[in-house]
Amino acid sequence: MQAIDLALVMKALEPIWTTKSETASRLRGRIEAVLDWATVSGYRKGENPARWRGHLGKLLPARAKIQKVEHHPALSYSEIGGFMEKLRTQEGIAARALEVLILTATRTGEVIGAEWDEINLSERVWVIPEARMKAGREHRIPLSGRALATLEQMNGIRESDFVFPGGKKGKPLSNMAMLAVLKRMKRDDLTAHGFRSTFRDWAAERTNFPREVVEMALAHTIENKVEAAYRRGDLFQKRTQLMEAWARFSKITLSTVTISRSTALHDAVLSTAARK
């Protein structure tokens, strides 16, 4: 452990720093953590050669300068009303999952992993525990009337701890199932994650809600550490108004859609087809 120096760390990182920036950044962090442990445990002495601030940061370009930003294909907010009307005509659990994902501006993993003990229908709130959140922080989501109606439909056929059960008993919906719905709708030019961009564009261009309210609705991490330290609340009441406005803008007709346990199997078959 004592033999690991700056030259060895650079030898490990440089070949992939500009081509696989995410992997390289994680690797650097793990090397730093291991060497910190070794120092505390008495296996080495001196400065950590994998430290970023004031050290490797002077030798390697920051990730923000080299990492390509991945833009998920997104629907224009001007089309969301027509899209949601068409989505409402689609049968199956995956279609209802996609509907809730759009109405709550959440991520695919957050929706398909949702369990009934996270959702309080009477209080109209969905609380995602920190273990399931990308930022590692609990996220409360106010449920609009339209999102609530869809969840009540799912509650009517409840046979599992999962809100959106998959084809296999005790398993959630496949992460490909919503893409299969989009493909069935002949909108395979879109991704489920892209609807978060649709929501953000709508909020920025068509509403007067403050940016911090929108960012909180998207469960984004506050980059400014000082602001994050003083931000104690989650702006829940303001976000409730925001999500109701989003539901109204999306203009879903609450028509009756048949949902049954067999549709989960249908969704599983579709998700398999989507992978192919």
Q: Residue 177's closest CA among 100, 91, 105, 93?
A: 93
- The structure's pTM equals 0.69
CATH superfamily of the domain spanning 77-275: Intergrase catalytic core (1.10.443.10)
Q: What is the DSSP letter of 126?
A: E
Are 258 and 239 in contact by the 8 Å Cβ rule? The answer is no
d(CA 129, CA 200): 23
d(CA 3, CA 11): 14
| pLDDT value at residue 159 | 87
How would you class 119 by CB atoms within 10 Å of its CB: exposed for 0-12, middle for 13-18, buried for 19 or more? buried
What is the chain's pLDDT, residue by residue, as a tens digit (276 residues)? 999 999 999 999 999 888 888 888 889 999 999 999 999 999 999 999 999 988 898 888 887 776 655 556 889 999 999 999 999 999 999 999 999 999 999 999 999 999 999 999 999 999 999 999 988 889 999 999 999 999 999 999 998 999 999 988 889 999 899 999 999 999 999 999 999 999 999 999 999 999 999 999 999 866 555 454 445 578 999 999 999 999 999 975 454 455 555 555 445 444 444 444
On the CB side of 243, CA atoms within 13 Å amount to 30
Query: Domain locations in the chain?
Result: 6-66, 77-275
| pLDDT value at residue 175 | 87
d(CA 242, CA 236): 10
Are 265 and 163 in contact by the 8 Å Cβ rule? The answer is no
Tokens at residue 147, please?
């999102």
